[in-house]
């Protein structure tokens, strides 16, 4: 198993291992080190590990889940994301693989471009400006439900239900179905790959989407995403029923855990940093750059993978064809080579070319919507609660996998 840096010697053009700089871990430590994005170490406390990997072993091999390379530096993650011809998404981006392919996330251009073009107009900033009022009403409704409470768990009480209600509204489900959808989506908050009972709920939701597509004759509103998917035509042919379901699933879930995680991480930071709350209240124009910075800092989509289509190299490390490469979006966003004081939140950080929404052809289609929800979610929370602090630090819980998130955050508010 490779665990070091490589460079190409001038003599024969073939890559050979370089000596590994010995700092906190020795070469042999890294030789037996298997990065695991689903481990509690990575969920709870990854920052020192990422830092050491970036310094000593920026491309490491893990034997976990059938084997993959883990890439931790910003420049390497960025260049792999942009080079989709070498680093393909078409064989899946999840490790281990999900139940069925996600469209358009698990496709390569040129087909990817055609599916993506169907979605882009629905997520443009101009289009989303129409939703701002609706999104704010959802945030206010969730906050109103907290009236009178002195302590609450913020994910359950606010950071999860708020984006869920927004997503359900944007897709355009019939109002009568909301309680049932709400219930299914909450059950599906868990990783489908680990729990057969959750997979069963996934099957029910997929069946429901299938029926909805069959029976619904017209869009509920001009902006409704079910309608966009229902009307989708590529190369003169309507897209297939399975493609429609896959797109709807991704549109429904792509923005849920991610937005929840950014909001929870942001509120956790603000609970511990009253000076940043004061600054945001004094300069409300900073909410927009703060939302961007909280996406960098929390990086919920922290590990997405690709498969190589040919022999290549990353940071001088030779990687053969058909190898799985996990890109550390979260690690890259804490790389001190790319960001000054990467482990601090700087509300007006500029420039902030983070990879929280990815890069290249798959850069998040919902990025404007995600940021809008984070901005409004924080504005409304800070408007309602003057002061808040973490109520019980021992109860903080993190979850890790492709998405890494603060999943339990008890707050005391005044
Ligand atoms: C702050 C919230 C969000 C974060 C951090 C986030 C993060 C990401 C990342 C990193 C990717 C790229 C994955 C890759 O390269 O393999 C992505 C793609 C995607 N996201 Fe988001 N996302 C967020 C919100 C949303 C929302 C609100 C939606 C839709 C309602 C959404 C829908 C999608 C879709 C459909 C893709 C696939 C795009 C493609 O393959 O072309 N996301 N997201």
Cα 103 to middle of ligand 1, angstroms = 11
pLDDT on residue 182: 79
Rounded to the nearest 10°, the torsion over CA 275, 278, 279, 282 is: -160
pLDDT digits (tens, 9 = 90+) for 284-326: 999 999 999 999 999 999 999 999 999 999 999 999 999 999 9
pLDDT digits (tens, 9 = 90+) for 15-67: 333 333 334 466 667 877 899 999 999 999 999 999 999 999 999 999 999 99
Q: How far is CA 75 from the centre of its chain?
A: 19
pLDDT digits (tens, 9 = 90+) for 146-191: 999 999 999 999 999 999 989 988 888 877 787 888 788 877 765 6
- Considering only CA atoms, which residue is closest to atom 25 of ligand 1? 255
Residues with CB under 6 A from ligand 1: 89, 93, 104-105, 116, 250-251, 254-255, 258-259, 262, 295, 300-301, 304, 329, 356-358, 362, 364-366, 369-370
pLDDT on residue 222: 58
- State the Cα–Cα distance between residues 37 and 97, nearest whole angstrom: 14
pLDDT digits (tens, 9 = 90+) for 331-378: 999 999 999 999 999 999 999 999 999 999 999 999 999 999 999 999
Cα 89 to middle of ligand 1, angstroms = 14
Question: What integer is the mean pLDDT of 231-235?
Answer: 94
Q: Is the peptide bond before 351 cis (omega within 30 degrees of 0)?
A: yes
- Please identify, by atom number, the ligand 1 atom nearest to the C-alpha of residue 112: 41
- State the Cα–Cα distance between residues 116 and 363, nearest whole angstrom: 10
Q: pLDDT grade, residue 217 (50/70/90)?
A: low
- Considering only CA atoms, which residue is closest to atom 23 of ligand 1? 255
Backbone angles phi, psi at 257, to 5 degrees: -60, -35
pLDDT digits (tens, 9 = 90+) for 102-157: 999 999 999 999 999 999 999 998 888 888 999 999 999 999 999 999 999 999 99
Mutation pick for ligand 1 pocket among 254, 265, 333, 354 (CB with most ligand atoms within 8 Å):
254
- State the Cα–Cα distance between residues 364 and 221, nearest whole angstrom: 24
Nearest CA-CA partner of 74 in 355, 409, 317? 355
- Considering only CA atoms, which residue is closest to atom 39 of ligand 1? 362
- State the Cα–Cα distance between residues 210 and 202, nearest whole angstrom: 12
3-state class (DSSP) for residue 332: helix
* Entry pTM: 0.92
């Amino acid at each position: 198993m490779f665990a070091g840096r490589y460079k190409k010697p001038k003599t024969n053009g073939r890559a050979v291992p370089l000596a590994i700089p010995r700092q906190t871990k020795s070469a042999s430590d890294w030789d037996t080190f298997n990065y695991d994005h689903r481990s509690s170490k990575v969920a709870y406390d990854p920052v020192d590990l990422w830092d050491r990997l970036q310094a000593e072993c920026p491309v490491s091999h893990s034997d976990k889940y059938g084997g993959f390379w883990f890439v931790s530096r910003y420049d390497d993650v960025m260049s792999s994301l942009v080079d989709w011809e070498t680093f393909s998404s078409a064989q899946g981006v999840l490790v281990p693989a999900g139940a069925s392919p996600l469209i358009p996330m698990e496709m390569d251009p040129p087909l990817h471009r055609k599916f993506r073009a169907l979605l882009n107009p629905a997520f443009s900033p101009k289009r989303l400006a129409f939703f701002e009022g609706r999104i704010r009403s959802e945030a206010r409704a969730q906050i109103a439900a907290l009236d009178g409470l002195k302590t609450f768990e913020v994910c359950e009480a606010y950071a999860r239900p708020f984006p869920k209600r927004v997503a359900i509204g944007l897709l355009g489900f019939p109002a009568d179905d909301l309680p049932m959808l709400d219930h299914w989506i909450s059950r599906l908050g868990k990783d489908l790959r680990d729990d057969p009972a959750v997979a069963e709920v996934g099957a029910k939701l997929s069946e429901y989407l299938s029926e909805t597509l069959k029976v619904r004759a017209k869009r509920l509103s001009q902006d409704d995403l079910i309608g966009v998917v229902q009307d989708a035509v590529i190369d003169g042919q309507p897209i297939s029923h399975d493609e429609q379901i896959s797109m709807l699933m991704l549109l429904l879930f792509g923005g849920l855990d991610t937005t929840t995680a950014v909001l929870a991480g942001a509120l956790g930071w603000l609970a511990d940093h009253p000076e940043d709350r004061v600054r945001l209240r004094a300069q409300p124009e900073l909410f927009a750059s703060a939302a961007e910075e909280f996406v960098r800092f929390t990086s919920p989509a922290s590990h997405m993978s690709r498969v190589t289509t040919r022999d290549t190299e990353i940071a001088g490390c030779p990687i053969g064809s058909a190898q799985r490469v996990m890109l550390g979006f979260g690690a890259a966003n804490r790389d001190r080579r790319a960001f000054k004081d990467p482990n601090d939140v700087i509300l007006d950080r500029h420039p902030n070319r983070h990879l929280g929404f990815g890069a290249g052809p798959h850069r998040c289609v919902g990025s404007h919507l995600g940021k809008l929800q984070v901005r409004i979610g924080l504005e409304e929370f800070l408007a309602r609660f003057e002061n808040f602090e973490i109520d019980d630090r021992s109860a903080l819980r993190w979850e890790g996998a492709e998405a890494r998130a603060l999943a339990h955050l008890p707050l005391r508010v005044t």
